[in-house]
A = this chain, B = another copy of it.
Amino acid sequence: MVEQDCIFCRIASGDIPAGRVYEDDQCIAFRDTNPQAPVHLLVIPREHVESLDDVGLKDEPMLGHLMRIASRIANDQGLAENGYRTVINTGASAGQSVFHLHVHVLGGRPLSWPPG
């Protein structure tokens, strides 16, 4: 279901343009507008799910698909050799700023530890 006040739902529906790099029937990937690395993409489900806390048992295949696609597009973007990091923030205090589930994919520079 598209939530009209959700910016990621509006990106998924094509209502708002975004730098898409991949899409299929379950998910869309596009460039983060405030990139934190040379490659910084977001992978989101087409279906509105607020956060990882809202993923149920029935959503496991969709969630696994998001993560596998995150890996595939990381490789497509040339990150195979030097690796990449995938991150999901859950809750505003952990850095979640849009309440539509999204996977960050970062690479193209050294990534330090801890991850924030």
Contacts and interface: CB of A to CB of B under 8 A. Distances in A.
A14 B83 CA distance: 30
B88 A83 contact: no
A38 B3 CA distance: 35
Contact of A94 (B52, B88, B107): B107
User: What number of copies of this chain does the assembly contain?
Assistant: 2
B68 A89 contact: no
- Size band of the interface chain A makes with B: 35 or more
18 contacts: A52-B67, A52-B71, A56-B68, A60-B64, A61-B64, A64-B67, A67-B88, A80-B91, A83-B90, A84-B90, A85-B88, A85-B94, A85-B95, A85-B115, A86-B90, A87-B87, A106-B115, A116-B116
Interface of A: 36-37, 52-53, 55-57, 59-65, 67-68, 70-71, 74-75, 80-96, 104, 106-107, 110-116
